[in-house]
Homo-oligomer: A and B are copies of this chain.
Amino acid sequence: MNYRAVDTAAEYVARLDTGADWRAEIEALADDVEADAAWFTALGAVQDAELWFYDQDEREYYPIEFDEPLEVASCVGNVSLLDDERFAHTHAVLSDPDGTTYAGHLNEATVWAGEVHMRVFEDELVREYDDTTELDLWL
Binding site for B on A (CB under 8 A): 1-8, 10-18, 20, 25, 28-29, 32-33, 37, 39, 41-43, 45, 47, 51, 53-57, 62, 64, 66, 69, 71-78, 89, 91-105, 112-113, 115-117, 119, 121, 125, 130, 132-133, 135, 137-139
Residues of B contacting A74 with CB < 8 Å?
A: 73-74, 76, 91, 93, 103
**4 closest A-B pairs (Cβ-Cβ)?**
A73-B103, A3-B14, A95-B103, A99-B102
User: Which of the residues B5, B12, B138 comes within 8 Å of A6, measured between beta carbons?
Assistant: B12
Chain A interface SS verdict (over half): strand
| B102 in contact with A95 (CB, 8 Å) | yes
Copies of this polypeptide in the complex: 3
Minimal beta-carbon separation of A16 from chain B (angstroms): 6
Residues of B contacting A17 with CB < 8 Å?
A: 1-2
